[in-house]
Amino acid sequence: MSKGQGTALVTGASAGIGAVYADRLAHRGYDLILVARDVAKLNALATRLIGETGVKVEVLRADLSNVDDIRKVEARLHADDITVLVNNAGVAVAGPTVEMDPERLEAMIQLNVVVATRLARAVAPGLAQRRRGDIINIASVVAIRGDQPAISVGYGASKAYLLAFSEGLDSELAPYGVRVQAVLPGVTRTELWEKGGLDINALPQDIVMETGDMVDAAFAGLDQGERVTIPALPDISDWIAFKTARAALLPNISHRLPAERYGRRSTDGSPLPRVPEHHG
Ligand SMILES: NC(=O)c1ccc[n+]([C@@H]2O[C@H](COP(=O)([O-])OP(=O)(O)OC[C@H]3O[C@@H](n4cnc5c(N)ncnc54)[C@H](OP(=O)(O)O)[C@@H]3O)[C@@H](O)[C@H]2O)c1
């Protein structure tokens, strides 16, 4: 029986992190819409969760590389019952950029970036209007690895986009009481690794988190009011220091003249005096 939490739509609910999100949301009393391609797995999960929790569960088969299927999911997200979107479906294509199949690279960006953005765009107006709801975007710690990429540069960049999109969208939607959380898992034991041609068992096992632990930590972070959750990070002040350093740049990243080290000179060749700060 539904407990009045509304309905959560989870993409990539047939396996891994998405399947655990579905489980935890059902146990928190949300009705569910499970989205992925593998209907047999979705149906099996739906049957189990209905039996365990009594919530309503819809299975919505969608291949999110197909625009008609994306539109089908967007249409479902326009309905009034939706209170949560978990943008979880994603793929990791591994390897050096110069060797990567461009079609697979594009498909990864399409799923990890474009689909997540479109679905958030589809759900946000209704959540804002009803002044209630959460958008949970499953990014990755690769989002903050910068010039030390892992898995692949394109994968890291796709997750960096999702982190930036989440942080910005959270600012936009906060006045409406809508929360946007970016979750940045480290290595998590799912099929993603094998599908990407990588052996998770070859990694040091002390960096591998079990999927249930990862999702439970992400919910604990959201419950504590976090908007960016890094499940493995022991000390939150490290993330706050990272954000503070980034914010400290802001007064100085847009001026009328280039910085002196780029050759800013007066006409007689002498360095120009410092200009007052302008933003915008
Ligand atoms: N595992 C990790 O170490 C790790 C770490 C950080 C972040 N993440 C992120 O966590 C998210 C979930 O990954 P996971 O590790 O749980 O991977 P997973 O076990 O491979 O699950 C991926 C899910 O995405 C769905 N999916 C893939 N392509 C799809 C498509 N074209 N249309 C619809 N659904 C599609 C799959 O369902 P179907 O095949 O049935 O369609 C599956 O349910 C991803 O965004 C991933 O980048 C994972």
- Looking at the structure, tell me whether residues 60 and 191 fall in a common domain: yes
Dist. CA 49 → ligand 1 center (Å): 20
Give mean pLDDT, residues 267-280: 57
Percent of the residues in the chain that have a pLDDT greater than 70, as a whole number: 93
Is there a domain that residue 1 lies in?
Answer: no
The answer as to whether 69 is a domain residue is yes
Find where tokens 């906060």 sit.
174
Q: Quick one: angle between helices 16-27 and 211-223, nearest 10?
A: 50
- Structure-block tokens of residue 210: 């079990």
Q: Name the active-site residue from 155, 161, 176, 262.
A: 155
List, for residues 62-96, the tens digit of each pLDDT value: 999 999 999 999 999 999 999 999 999 999 999 99
Quick one: which atom of ligand 1 is closest to the CA of 112? 45
Residue 68 lies in a domain: yes
Which pLDDT does position 264 carry in this prediction?
A: 77
Q: What is the pLDDT of residue 1?
A: 43
Any idea what the CATH number is for the domain that residue 176 is in?
3.40.50.720
pLDDT tens for 24-61 read 999 999 999 999 999 999 999 999 999 999 999 999 99
Quick: pLDDT tens for 124-162: 999 999 999 999 999 999 999 999 999 999 999 999 999
Domain that holds residue 197: 7-233
Using DSSP bridges, classify how beta strands 57-61 and 82-87 pair: parallel, antiparallel or unpaired. unpaired
pLDDT at residue 280 tops 90: no
Q: What is the pLDDT of residues 152-186, one digit of tens each?
A: 999 999 999 999 999 999 999 999 999 999 999 99
200 within some domain: yes
Counted domains in the chain: 2
Cα 280 to ligand 1 centre (Å): 38
155 noted as active-site residue: yes
Max CA distance (Å), the chain: 81
Asked if 146 and 260 sit in the same domain, the reply is no
* Whether residue 173 sits in one domain with residue 34: yes
**What are the residue ranges of helices labelled H in 182-279?**
192-195, 211-223, 236-249
Strand bridging mode 133-138 / 82-87: parallel
What residues form DSSP beta bridges with 34? 10, 59
* Closest ligand 1 atom to 63 CA: 32
Can you name the residues that pair with 228 across neighbouring β-strands? 182
Whether residue 83 is found in the same domain as residue 97: yes
Q: Is residue 129 part of a domain?
A: yes
